[in-house]
Structure 1
Amino acid sequence: MASRTASTTTGAPAPRPDPGSTPGSPRTIDRRAQRRRGWRRNRGEYALFLLLLSPNLLIIATFEYWPVIYNAYLSMTRWNMLSGVPQWVGLDNYHTLLNSETFHQVMRNTLAFTGTVVIGSVVLGLALAVLFNQRLHGRGLVRTVAFAPHIVSGAAVATLWLFIFDPNYGLSRVVLNQFGFGSPRWVTDSDWALASLIIVYLWKGVGFVAIVYLAGLQSLPEELYEAAKIDGAGAWTTFRRITLPLLSPVTFFVMVITIIGTFQAYDMIAVLTGGGPGNATTTLSWYIYEQGFQAFDAGRAAASAMILFIILLIVTGLQTKFVQRRVHYQ
């Protein structure tokens, strides 16, 4: 009755089921046999593929995944690395950290340091890239000088800035005296230590960000700027409506690498301030080092490292979900 209604409504006979496609039919059995024969023919290729892939999988599992798994286990133990064996304590390390005022200050330092460096790198790097993109004499030399700090080791950069920040004979004292100001005790005053660390980190990394932005600027299509000029758009409107949207992939890349780099900052903190004075410049990465290799508390260090891992995982996920929606690749 249903088939008659369908044929009457559409004007064509209703499709009939293929008897060869029902389960257990000869055609279905033949297809299964063909798949099995194909699998037998390709077994050698599959085996070769797994043989060639297995060394990479083994290396990744050994040096990437296993340390994370073992660190997660250590974070639930109490272990003085100089003596004894790990003792299972469950989530006690996490409970201690999350209720510690010292750890709260460490997280505030980390967020302030990371947020300021990320925003400063994007703003200053883009401004320098726009300047480097102008047709000026000697711009190649200026680009080289700006990029040079990025390839110098962090320890060397921090040592240089220790002399610059010296309140008695450093370059900062000379510059500030010209404006009638005295030089603060940059790295020994808790009010200035974090600011000094941010200044040094920006100085080292902003040249790299500028060169990345410059590459993006030089790849933008000229036709859009010519059309904007014909339409009477000003420099600021063109920059805001054309340049910034087209540079969104570069901005996304810069934000990702800067956030990861600042969360893992270590060498310049070690040379400049050593996390002090007090805990004024103790970020999460430095706190992990202190707990693991100064206090020899492997459990608390591992728990701090897992918190850092979770934070980076969340930040990366949020960037991918929200920031990348505003990224235009065409």
Structure 2
Amino acid sequence: MDLDTVADELYALTPGEFTAARNARAAEAVRAGDRPLGERIRALPKPTLAAWASNLLVRTRPDETGPLLELGEALRNAYLNVDAAQLRTLSARQRQVTAALAREARQLAASAGQPLGNQALQEVQDTLHAALADPDAAREWASGRLSRPLGAAGFPAVSPSAVTRPHATAGHAPEAAPAPVAEPGRKRATNTTTSTTKAASAPTDLDRARARRERRARADRVGKALREAEEAHEAAEESRSGQQERLDRTTAHQERAARRAADLATRLAAAQDELRDAETAVREARTDLKAADRAVHEAETRLRRARREAEAEEDPDGGDA
């Protein structure tokens, strides 16, 4: 396992698949005993949707990468040489090619289930313009491992006087301006002035190096911010997963308690019915007891009366000798 192979594998995945696959490959490297490689893999930033679509275009349409890089080199040479005619031709081709490739990237992304919105599509087109304008950006784009879209870049506008001449008619090439007749002794000064003007109009190596450093610094800041955001997102996902497990446990406990409560409520209702029946039976028994008491009292009264009558029958004289 090496970093280039893993990076090629990861940046071919959709943004939604990237993080889990990256972490798995990093863990695999650590288990294999190569912790530094695991840390470098884990530091790979997740691609934005536009960066992934740009990578998809490079990987799916490799035959279109070379022509775009050649067009960028031709445009840069035409600009440095102040070749207005060549710039006009190549600029028109630039607009056509970048628009066509951006549309193709959008179609590829949609086919992969990752549709691009207008903002992402614009970022893809900005990336193509940056690849045309800057050789470092072109190499980065052609690697198919972008984690973020390249910043919009382009060529400075060509002077209107270089593009067209007054009084040019439709369908006819503009006439070249007559060359000024140089006085003897001023030829070298004129040539020097022209060279100085060309040099002033073209970006110096120092300007290009400074621009590259600024782009790299911005890229580092953005990359750091992306990594921090990804780490925060992963931590939030882990926390959410833990809270979800806790919610599942408490929900299951609540459901069990609710079932027990329902069972107890059913049993309580049955017990209350039994209690009411028992209370009714007690009242009826008490009523029956009172009736029995009255019957006993009446029976005792009749018994005493019968005894007195019997005694009177046995002693008709009332007890005289």
Q: Normalising to structure 1: TM-score of the pair? A: 0.23
Q: Normalising to structure 2: TM-score of the pair? A: 0.23
Which of structures 1 and 2 has the bigger CA Rg? 2
